[in-house]
Amino acid sequence: MLRIGQGFDVHRFAEDRDLIIGGAHIPYDRGLLGHSDADVLLHVVSDAILGAIGEGDIGKHFPDTDEAYKDADSKVLLSKVVELMSEKDFRVINIDCTIMAERPKMLPYIPQMQTIIAQLLKVEIEQVNIKATTTEKLGFVGREEGIAALAVVLLGKENA
Ligand X SMILES: C[C@@]1(CO)OP(=O)(O)OP(=O)(O)OC[C@H]1O
Ligand Y SMILES: Nc1ccn([C@@H]2O[C@H](COP(=O)(O)O)[C@@H](O)[C@H]2O)c(=O)n1
Q: Please enumerate, by residue number, every residue annotated as part of a binding site.
A: 9-11, 35-36, 43, 57-59, 62-66, 101-107, 133-136, 140, 143
Instruction: Identify which of residues 25 and 105 has a Cβ nearer to ligand X in the complex.
Output: 25
Instruction: Give residues 98-127 in contact with ligand Y (rule: CB under 6 A).
Output: 101, 105-107
User: Minimum distance from CB of 132 to ligand Y (Å)?
Assistant: 4
Does residue 134 belong to the site contacting ligand Y (CB under 6 A)? yes
Instruction: Using CB under 6 A, pick the residue from 70, 133, 143, 145 that binds ligand Y.
Output: 133
Which residue stretches of the chain are H helix?
40-52, 58-61, 74-87, 110-121, 139-142
Does residue 80 belong to the site contacting ligand X (CB under 6 A)? no
Report yes or no: 84 and 53 within 8 Å, Cβ to Cβ: yes
Strands 128-133, 91-100: pairing is: parallel
107 binds, among ligand Y, ligand X, none (CB under 5 to 8 A by kind): ligand Y
Name which of 16, 72, 14 is nearest 43 in CA terms.
Answer: 72
Name which of 156, 137, 131 is nearest 44 in CA terms.
Answer: 131
Report yes or no: 78 and 84 within 8 Å, Cβ to Cβ: no
Provide the mask over 57-76, with x wherever binding to ligand Y is found by CB under 6 A and - wherever it is not. --------------------
- DSSP annotation of 46 reads H
Does residue 106 belong to the site contacting ligand X (CB under 6 A)? no
Residues that bind ligand X (CB under 6 A): 9, 34-36, 38, 43, 58-59, 62-64, 69, 72
